[in-house]
Amino acid sequence: QVAKQIHDDGIDILIDIAGHTGHNRLGVFARRPAPVQMTWLDYLCTTGLAAMNYRITDAIADPEGNEVFHSEKVLRMPHTQWCWQPDGSAPDVSAPPSERNGCITFGSFNNAQKLTDSTLALWRALLNALPEARMRIGGIADGFARARVLEALGCQESRLTFLPRLDIHEYRQSFAEVDIALDPTPFSGATTTLDALWQGVPVLTLPGERSCSRSSASLLSALAMNAWIASDADDFVGLAKRHSADRQGLIELRKGLRGRMQASPMLDVGAFTADLENLYRRAWRDWCESRIAADGAPSLPAGEHDALIRARSAMGAGQIDAAMTVLKPLVAAHPDWEIAKRDLARAALAWSRAHPEALPVWSSPVPKTSRRKVSAIVCSIRPDYFNAVRARLGEQFADHDFELIGIHDAKSLCEGYNRGAARAMGDVLIFCHDDIDTVHDDFGERVFHHLAHHDVLGVVGTSRLVGGDWGYAGAPHVHGQVVHRPPGETGFIYLGVGLQAPVITGIQALDGVFIATHRHVWEALKFDEATFDGFHLYDIDFTWRAHLAGYRLAVPLDLLLLHFSTGRYDMKWQAFHRRFLNKFPQLSGRPSARRYTSLHVKLQTLEQVERLHSGLFHHNFGA
């Protein structure tokens, strides 16, 4: 719902500020509702999402070469990626505690989860090198957590002061008892570092390679405090000793640190915002000027944007034919241009209302077939689904010798389908999901009509298989349509992937939601139980082998199916995908840049689905 709202609002640049933290919304970004998507701020690593275009950072947090750690393109702010506003209730800066007690006190108030073994080992070396020093550690619960820290630091308990989790006021007051704050590794502080610096407490950090360990280094660099950034563990201890010995330097630094921060880029909100806006503008221009399309297709020229504006003007004036004339070639040339696709869908729906004589392909009658033997094999563990599909298919094939074979204990879909087909009496076999329905009452007759001319039928598929997902090829090599209605949804989600001809031939692989074939095809090929002993890739493997064997595969556009769920491409699917590519090494497995070119449109009624189909099909919608 969020992705749909963002998409419908026409957002150009969408920004994630959570990454892989709790309660994130990366599922929204995976659906790519906006053409340019960025991640920033709260999660200091790559998201790993193919749909995330950019990650905002700076040259200290991510120096040159850190691109190798990112799936996104790295965009660097000119100064620092941080902009901060101090709390007006923060206490005044106090004198360093070493003036009162004569010894240096180190402190840490970072999240206790950041106190890794490597962090504690580093601090142990520091405390060993400075035997008179003390340390205050906040947010460590009593019991095992404190015992672990005490054992890891290997010093007398009297040198350590443990503080419970504090409220915000007590937390800020606690910096008054610290001379030098220590940054954890490999997960550096950010807000905690800023709070310490605002209270006049310098922070000693040891950055690593990746950005999650370099936050404090970025902040210190913005304050010209490079002398507090260690190069390795020995340097970390050496800097601690040197700064601890310079008591007057600590006093002067503490007095001036708040003013230094106020004069720094990280508190200059106006300049920071301008820099951030320039970065957004640069990313948007890059997208407009150098969009990468499949097969070396050219960038999107400015004239294409003008064409979209002309089409919208025509729509606003009620000139639907003129709008379709502009939009159809526009989408054909740029099938991944989401805004243009949505406009085409609106125009096609309006066009079909204005042209009731343009009928969908399923309006053409098909001759009635003489009585046939047909068997449907369904693997199901849901009695309600199974009973519903049995009733619907029974109606479709009521004039034929029909049987529905239910496999309720399938070890895998391949095993279940093979077992059911071996028992079947039909010369026509149907392999389908249990959560489907047919939209039109003559669906069964249409299946027989097309099987008279083809060997294997499906409702969606590809004429160019490049991997284990039939959608990898993208436009214009994907074909067909299906209507989704997930549980709990209202209305219908129309998925159109290619409506180029009434019957699309030359298909190389089909989706397994519905496959109809002749018995002799299954007998020659059978499903590969040995390789695909689960519930993924059975369909692509079977239909790809049928294509390689010379059988004729087709996607007829008059077979409209209602599906009550959507596919899942999880880690199990990925494992079977590797098996599939090992079996067919001639396939690259690399998806095309036009992979996500299907049209997803939410409609309220099946009548709207039919109208949209007639408008799109009349104009040979290809993506």
Residue-level pLDDT at 623: 54
Dump pLDDT digits (tens) for 390-433. 999 999 999 999 999 999 999 999 999 999 999 999 999 999 99
* 426 close to 522: Cβ distance less than 8 angstroms: no
Range with lowest mean pLDDT among 404-413, 450-459, 489-498 = 489-498
The tokens 């991640």 sit on which residue? 39
Helix, strand or coil, per DSSP, at residue 10 = coil
Residue-level pLDDT at 226: 96
How much is the average pLDDT of 200-210? 96
What is the three-state SS of 216-262?
Answer: HHHHHHHCCCHHHECCCHHHHHHHHHHHHHCHHHHHHHHHHHHHHHH
Dump pLDDT digits (tens) for 95-124. 999 999 999 999 999 999 999 999 999 999
Dump pLDDT digits (tens) for 288-341. 775 544 334 445 566 788 888 899 999 999 999 999 999 998 888 888 788 888
Instruction: Name the residue with higher pLDDT: 543 or 490.
Output: 543
Residue-level pLDDT at 294: 35
Nearest to 552 by CA among 527, 584, 518: 518
* 44 close to 68: Cβ distance less than 8 angstroms: no
Percent of the chain predicted with pLDDT > 90: 82
Burial group, residue 444, by CB count within 10 angstroms (0-12, 13-18, 19+): buried
Residue-level pLDDT at 592: 78
The tokens 């040979």 sit on which residue? 620
Task: Determine the Cα–Cα distance for residues 581 and 465; give it in Å rounded to an integer.
Answer: 12
Phi, psi of 134 (to 5 degrees): -115, 170
Residue-level pLDDT at 433: 96
Percent of the chain predicted with pLDDT > 70: 97
For the cut 60, the answer to whether the pLDDT of residue 68 exceeds it is yes
Residue-level pLDDT at 335: 83
Listed in sequence order, the residues at least 6 apart from 20 whose beta carbon sits closer than 8 Å to its beta carbon are 26, 43, 45, 47
Q: Which element (helix H / strand E) includes 602?
A: strand 599-603
Burial group, residue 459, by CB count within 10 angstroms (0-12, 13-18, 19+): buried
Residue-level pLDDT at 295: 35
Residue-level pLDDT at 490: 84
Residue-level pLDDT at 598: 84
How much is the average pLDDT of 33-54? 93
Confidence of residue 215 (pLDDT cuts 50, 70, 90): very high
Dump pLDDT digits (tens) for 552-594. 999 999 999 999 987 777 788 989 999 999 999 999 878 876 7
Task: Determine the Cα–Cα distance for residues 516 and 458; give it in Å rounded to an integer.
Answer: 7
Task: Determine the Cα–Cα distance for residues 244 and 242; give it in Å rounded to an integer.
Answer: 5
The string of DSSP codes covering 284-322 is HHHHHH----GGGPPP--HHHHHHHHHHHHHHHTT-HHH
Helix, strand or coil, per DSSP, at residue 49 = coil
Phi, psi of 378 (to 5 degrees): -130, 125
Residue-level pLDDT at 507: 98
Phi, psi of 56 (to 5 degrees): -85, 130
How much is the average pLDDT of 115-136? 97
**Arithmetic mean of pLDDT over the chain:** 92
